[in-house]
A and B are shown apart, each in its own frame.
Chain A
């Protein structure tokens, strides 16, 4: 399982993943359509902001914010936890383990290969956002674009690593779907998915700044809508990538310990 082998296998894995994403495009479209929550919240916050702006958010700002949330969610989501749970229970993970490359790379490749299909959904939403809100919906300067791309990558990495870590817990627990549900709830409440985290009281915000969730959705969205100066943005990106590193280490430890316990059922 050398680095060279892994690198050599990557293009193929990506191609397979992409072909899979294309094959199940209708399914993917339905998944995308079922993430309507940002739209519910957008409408709600527009109603709240009708009379007077909330904080720095007027009605148009909320439209920009939640359309960005929708697009970012498409780009940073991962479903590896369910996949791993399923494969552990069915025993099909044994097949993946026999291959000369770690299943983790395969999961990552499958996820990344879905990107082009997801962009097809995300880009029109961003365009719509520009039409409705104007220039404010997108980063204005080159560095802002760079930071935004970094933040999306970091956001994806956090979701993916957390997904695999929680998925790997199923080696110990039998099924870790409930753990994943708890993670998801915290993610919905703390990530800025339902409301901009800025609107929360200061004490709660400090707590959320220390948790990983905000860096999955909130940070990319804030960078996209240009909410921060570069100094603050740099600081937040640092925090985000610190979480990526931490979760990376955690994932490797949990996965290695877990695989040792794995005995294929069925398979």
Chain B
């Protein structure tokens, strides 16, 4: 069973890879635009830290780590999650999802792996570059346990991001025009650019609660950055793992229900 799915994943990856190789020039344009966007993400950071050395307990180098995580996750989002799930919306609108549902493999797996944009991985490289620069600014390196737990958190963040997307796409079964919802999602993801404690001052910390528990943005960028700095409490680490697994489970339930509601658009 697992082997069959791994082989399937390999085939889908290969197809996307071949497609990407056809448009090699994209590598450079992707790279350039990704650098450009990273610069926009950094511009306010430079302006802010030109004014104050520390904001809500985060220095420049530390906040830079959060931006690094944001950029890295954006690469994963745009390269691996976004393209295939936009494909689902297209399927739902055209009524071609039937063909996917008829195939003898799990539908969620099939739609989630149908398309990758490998060149978008450039963002991941940019993110890694930011980590190096940030630690150079801080004048020290990450500790080994910190590094390990941040790798673990990378997995949970990806899982969370993916689950959030599954939830967004499940909404497409009911409202159909969901490509705008995806924009909404990316813009909410913008909040993850900043350490979550920055939002403490608003509405008596309600925003921080929302971004930790409802839309778990804090878990995705602030927690890994804190782990790298070696100041994340072990309880938070356990909480992040348990929380993201629970979240993924809920997303899976919602997806199955939505599939149940699906009636083909064309027939």
Contacts and interface: CB of A to CB of B under 8 A. Distances in A.
Q: Judge: A and B partners, yes or no.
A: yes
Interface of A: 26-27, 30-31, 33-37, 40-41, 43-48, 50-51, 54, 178, 181-182, 185, 188-189, 194-195, 199-201
B106 interface: no
Given A36-B187, A44-B194, A189 B33 contact: no
B148 interface: no
A267 to B, nearest CB: 21
Contact of A50 (B37, B43, B47, B201): B201
A178 B23 CA distance: 15
Contacts of B29: 178
B51 A199 contact: yes
A185 B190 contact: no
A194 B33 contact: no
A45 B187 CA distance: 18
Contacts of A50: 201
B186 A194 contact: no
A44 B39 CA distance: 18
A27 B202 CA distance: 28
Nearest to A200: B47
A187 B184 CA distance: 20
Interface string B102-129: 0000000000000000000000000000
Contacts of B39: 185, 189
A185 B37 CA distance: 7
A195 B201 contact: no
A194 B201 contact: no
A87 B191 CA distance: 34
Interface of B: 29, 33, 36-37, 39-40, 43-44, 47-48, 50-52, 55-56, 177, 180-181, 183-184, 186-188, 190-191, 193-194, 198-202, 207
Nearest to A30: B180
A30 B36 CA distance: 26
Contact of A199 (B47, B180, B207): B47
A81 to B, nearest CB: 15
Contacts of B43: 188-189, 194-195
Nearest to A37: B190
Contact of A194 (B44, B52, B55, B184): B44
Contacts of A27: 177, 180
A44 B36 contact: no
B51 A35 contact: no
A24 B198 CA distance: 36
Given A37-B190, A185-B36, 11 more contacts: A33-B187, A36-B191, A40-B193, A43-B198, A43-B199, A43-B201, A44-B44, A47-B200, A48-B52, A51-B52, A178-B33
Contacts of B194: 40, 44
Contact of A34 (B47, B184, B207): B184
